[in-house]
């Protein structure tokens, strides 16, 4: 038999009633949620569970566990309103012999804050997707409509410019969809990785050259001629470096510097340290942990708010670490440690 002290340590509320409908057990969480005077033991269950739905109907009126079909063995989790106005998720288990009378009724009351947080995240997701999709879709629709209606009066240069814009907007939509898929895979732990030894120096150089084409910013690359390979999925590692460089360009100023060096970490062993510095305003220390949360945005320069969350997730599944500090120029410094060997071999 579980002791009362152990029951009181549980975060969820527990109420148990006997075959006559009298409460025989509660815990501290249930007493707090239900606003009971004392522990409620000895009182009738219908008087203890004073919950209502949003229409004012009492829980007991809707789900009297001692009434109804003799085959009823429980009530699935549902949302109810507590006497104090808060929301609680209630699950009911009814103990009885097959087709016989009720022997015992157990209720679990769980705070709805976790669900509220999930609902907020879903709302943020919907808002983010709607915002990020609206602009490129508006552009695509506008230019396509113009091309269809005015094809004969547009010259080749105008058509090319419009088609290039449509192509850029389509690529932007594709990147957003990829980000959303990556978030879902990271959250569920189902991100596929195809690891092998990767020349991180050559990979970083390719990312920098690609970034130079799309911006007028200056880049510096600081790395020795020989850098150890890292054990990683090359596509995912490219995504990490690209996101870090693009983030530095978007939120920083001046020159973006990418550095590589071999190092040794007491926890990870031999690693390659990747550092991306910018010359912007930096990230205040008190909000640095929030950078890696979903939908975090800093400043007014756009973005989906998913990039750094994905970067942190990708680095973590590779067995690496990531941290934020100040760059020598006063901007932000993102430091990534990437293992040179398969971290799973050490476990």
Task: Give residue-wise pLDDT tens across range 70-100.
Answer: 888 888 888 888 887 788 889 999 999 877 8
What CATH number belongs to 4-111? 3.30.450.20
Q: What pLDDT, on a 0 to 100 scale, did the predictor assign at position 261?
A: 96
Q: In sequence order, what are the beta bridge partners of 269?
A: 265
CA distance 192 to 190: 6
In sequence order, the 6+-apart residues with CB closer than 8 A to the CB of 166 are 139, 140, 143, 144
Give yes or no for residue 44 having a pLDDT over 90: yes
Go through 68-83 and write b for each residue having 16 or more CB atoms within 10 A of its CB, e for each that does not: eeeeeeebeeeebbbe
Q: Which region among 125-139, 166-180, 225-239, 307-321 has the lowest average model confidence (pLDDT)?
A: 125-139
Mean pLDDT of 266-293: 87
- Output DSSP code: residue 44: B
Q: What is the pLDDT of residues 143-153, one digit of tens each?
A: 899 999 999 99
Architecture of domain 115-188: Orthogonal Bundle (1.10)
Average pLDDT value over all residues in the chain: 86
Main-chain dihedrals φ then ψ at residue 171, nearest 5 degrees:
-65, -40
Angle 242-248-250 (CA atoms, 0-180°, nearest 5)? Answer: 100
Model confidence at 299, in pLDDT bands (50, 70, 90)? low
Mean pLDDT of 182-210: 90
Give the CA-trace dihedral at 251, 331, 307, 118, to 10 degrees: -100
Architecture of domain 196-346: 2-Layer Sandwich (3.30)
Q: In sequence order, what are the beta bridge partners of 102?
A: 96
In the chain, CATH 1.10.287.130 covers: 115-188
In the chain, CATH 3.30.565.10 covers: 196-346
């Amino acid at each position: 038999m579980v002791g009362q002290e152990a029951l009181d340590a549980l975060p969820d509320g527990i109420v148990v009633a006997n075959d006559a409908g009298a409460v025989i057990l509660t815990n501290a969480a249930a007493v707090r949620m239900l606003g009971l005077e004392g522990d409620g033991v000895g009182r009738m269950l219908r008087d203890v569970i004073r919950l209502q739905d949003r229409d004012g109907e009492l829980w007991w009126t809707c789900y009297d566990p001692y009434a109804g079909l003799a085959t009823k063995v429980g009530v699935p989790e549902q949302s109810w309103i507590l006497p104090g106005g808060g929301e609680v998720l209630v699950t009911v288990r009814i103990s009885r012999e097959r087709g016989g009378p009720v022997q015992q009724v157990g209720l679990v009351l769980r705070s709805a804050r976790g669900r509220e947080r999930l609902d907020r995240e879903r709302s943020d997701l919907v808002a983010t997707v709607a915002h990020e999709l609206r602009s490129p879709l508006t552009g695509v629709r506008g230019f396509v409509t113009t091309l269809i209606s005015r094809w004969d009066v547009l010259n080749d240069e105008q058509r090319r410019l419009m088609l290039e814009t449509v192509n850029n907007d389509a690529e932007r939509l594709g990147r957003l969809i990829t980000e959303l898929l990556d978030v879902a895979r990271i959250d569920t732990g189902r991100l596929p990785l195809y690891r092998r030894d990767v020349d991180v120096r050559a990979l970083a150089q390719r990312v920098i050259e690609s970034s130079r084409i799309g911006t007028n910013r200056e880049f510096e690359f600081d790395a020795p001629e020989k850098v150890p390979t890292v054990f990683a999925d090359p596509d995912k590692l490219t995504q990490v470096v690209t996101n870090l460089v693009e983030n530095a360009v978007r939120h920083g100023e001046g020159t973006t510097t990418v550095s590589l060096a071999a190092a040794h970490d007491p926890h990870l062993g031999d690693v390659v340290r990747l550092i991306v510095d910018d010359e912007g305003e930096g990230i205040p220390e008190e909000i640095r942990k929030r950078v890696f949360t979903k939908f975090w945005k800093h400043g007014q320069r756009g973005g989906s708010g998913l990039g750094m969350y994905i970067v942190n997730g990708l680095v973590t599944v590779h067995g690496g670490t990531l941290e934020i500090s100040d760059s020598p120029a006063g901007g932000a410094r993102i430091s990534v440690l990437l293992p040179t060997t398969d971290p799973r071999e050490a476990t």
